[in-house]
Amino acid sequence: MQYCLNEEQTQLQDLIRRVCAEKVAARAADIDRTAEYPQDMFELLQKLDLFTVPFSAEYGGTGSVLSACIAVEEFGRVCYNTGALLVTQWVPFGTILAGGSPEQQKRYLPGLATGELRGATSLTEAQSGSDVSGIKTTARRTADGYVINGAKMWCTGSLVADFIMVAARTLAEDGKPVGINFFIVERGAKGFTVGRKEEKLGARGISSHPLFFDNVPVAETARLGPEGGEGFKLAMETLNKSRPIIAARAVGLAQGAMDHTIEFIRNRRAFGHQISDFQGARWMVSDMAMKTEAARQLVYRAAAMVDAGVKGSVLAPLAAQAKCYASDVAMQVATDAVQLFGAAGISGEYPINRYFRDAKVIQIVEGTNQIQRNIIADSLLGRVKK
Ligand SMILES: Cc1cc2nc3c(=O)[nH]c(=O)nc-3n(C[C@H](O)[C@H](O)[C@H](O)COP(=O)(O)OP(=O)(O)OC[C@H]3O[C@@H](n4cnc5c(N)ncnc54)[C@H](O)[C@@H]3O)c2cc1C
């Protein structure tokens, strides 16, 4: 079924489906097991020219978030980590596109588009994940620019990144706070180090690390947008636009878990029957299909709204619903999938426990599902901050 996709999107879907079957599926388990950065998958995405899909033709993209969702969904169906390579690249791209100066755009976007440059994004600190306003890393004004001090956590892709978008509390020369800004910190900057990788339950292919900033000097031109909250707000608003893409990763994951389950219950036998003969199992896969399809429709609609130019307080609750619902569905589907595999669901010999572990991650990253529910409730109750 081709849904509401246009010809270009159908072709993109067909292409990625083929590539996944031929090249990605065979690598998925290994990437998860070894937790080594999948450089070959990065090069594959580079060769397919997929790093610009959501962005305009000027950068070689389709200009469509729905197309980006389709790409991520198809990769997510077979390998969470390969889909995550795209998203890790798209977030800094979108942030610089939304809030960067023409010079910053010229310096970073062409390289991100070809994959010659890799970016990462760092907001989270030990004491503040959901509560971005609690960040303590500072960027204090100096005669030449700023000096950054502090520590970050969970920065995904930072080990291979050429630069990192670092959220810091901007201080005037006298130490007075002026708001939060993103600063572009390049690899090799003096006083900047990437710490030991987190041992992760899921999303293991692209490692996440703490970052340390010890009097790291950056030029004024490294700051995104005007000093203070405005530039940061602009950058954060782009997260509403990219949220359907995160949700699409969950739809793909749910679909992939279901694909594996159907194959398994058709082949596995008990009590003289295929497992797929038992009503309990049949109804479980039917529920998986209904929920996955409902999530897909919500995600495609949110993405189509972004493509139609909807933004701000109208887009925010829909994008939140898409992310929250799709990742909750992915978790439910993956949980039932493990159940239907029986002991094989627990065994590392089968792919399904990888889906279960990766699903949990999507409920937490890019704004936890509680935070998404807060966005939805604020919108329903008329409590949206201007
Ligand atoms: C695999 C992985 C990759 C990541 N990559 C990055 C990255 O690249 N860059 C980056 O900056 N961060 C990254 N993160 C961090 C991620 O963004 C945070 O983990 C997430 O925002 C939640 O923050 P926290 O873990 O500090 O939880 P907390 O904010 O401490 O929350 C703990 C619990 O309380 C709930 N909670 C908090 N506030 C509320 C509230 N107001 N109402 C209801 N419930 C609430 C949360 O939903 C959660 O369940 C990554 C995390 C993971 C797991």
Q: What CATH number does the domain containing 26 carry?
A: 1.10.540.10
Structural contact between residues 326 and 248, judged by C-beta atoms closer than 8 angstroms: yes
Domain boundary among 193, 227, 261: 227
Domain boundary among 78, 99, 114: 114
Residues facing residue 211 across a β-bridge = 152, 194
Whether residue 90 is predicted with pLDDT greater than 50 in this model: the reply is: yes
Percent of the chain with pLDDT over 90: 94
From ligand 1's centre to the CA of 184, what distance in Å? 22
Q: Please give the average per-residue pLDDT across 157-161, as a whole number.
A: 98
- The residue range of the domain holding 157 is 119-227
Statement to judge: residues 286 and 241 lie in one domain: yes
Q: Is residue 86 part of a domain?
A: yes
Statement to judge: residues 21 and 56 lie in one domain: yes
Whether residue 2 is predicted with pLDDT greater than 70 in this model: the reply is: no
Q: Please give the average per-residue pLDDT across 287-315, as a whole number.
A: 96
Statement to judge: residues 251 and 363 lie in one domain: yes
Statement to judge: residues 185 and 164 lie in one domain: yes
Written as one string, the DSSP assignment of 237-256 is HHHHHHHHHHHHHHHHHHHH
Give me the number of domains the chain comprises: 3
Q: Is residue 188 part of a domain?
A: yes
Which residues, in sequence order, are CB contacts of 170 under 8 Å at separation 6+? 138, 139, 140, 141, 146, 177, 178, 179, 180, 181, 223, 227, 228
Write the residue with the smallest CA distance to atom 26 of ligand 1. Answer: 129
Per-residue model confidence as pLDDT tens digits over 277-288: 999 999 999 999
Write the residue with the smallest CA distance to atom 50 of ligand 1. Answer: 154
Determine the Cα–Cα distance for residues 156 and 37; give it in Å rounded to an integer.
11
Structural contact between residues 47 and 40, judged by C-beta atoms closer than 8 angstroms: no
Residue 330 or residue 58, greater confidence: 330
Whether the predicted model's global pTM rises above the 0.75 cut? yes
Q: Is residue 140 part of a domain?
A: yes
Per-residue model confidence as pLDDT tens digits over 352-364: 999 999 999 999 9
Q: Please give the average per-residue pLDDT across 89-105, as a whole number.
A: 94
Statement to judge: residues 191 and 174 lie in one domain: yes
Q: Is residue 43 part of a domain?
A: yes
Q: Is residue 79 part of a domain?
A: yes
Q: Please give the average per-residue pLDDT across 169-193, as a whole number.
A: 96
Question: Active-site residue 366, yes or no?
Answer: yes
Predicted pLDDT at 1: 45
Per-residue model confidence as pLDDT tens digits over 330-347: 999 999 999 999 999 999
Statement to judge: residues 299 and 355 lie in one domain: yes
Instruction: Please give the mean pLDDT across all residues of the chain.
Output: 96
Domain boundary among 178, 210, 227: 227
From ligand 1's centre to the CA of 239, what distance in Å? 15
Determine the Cα–Cα distance for residues 180 and 111; give it in Å rounded to an integer.
26
Burial call 156-177: b when 16+ CB within 10 Å, e when fewer: bbbbebbbbbbbbbbbeeeeee
Predicted pLDDT at 240: 86
Ligand 1 pocket (Cβ < 6 Å) reads 121-124, 129-131, 154-156, 200, 203, 208, 361, 364-365, 368, 370-371, 374
Q: Is residue 169 part of a domain?
A: yes
Whether residue 310 is predicted with pLDDT greater than 90 in this model: the reply is: yes
Per-residue model confidence as pLDDT tens digits over 109-142: 999 999 999 999 999 999 999 999 999 999 999 9
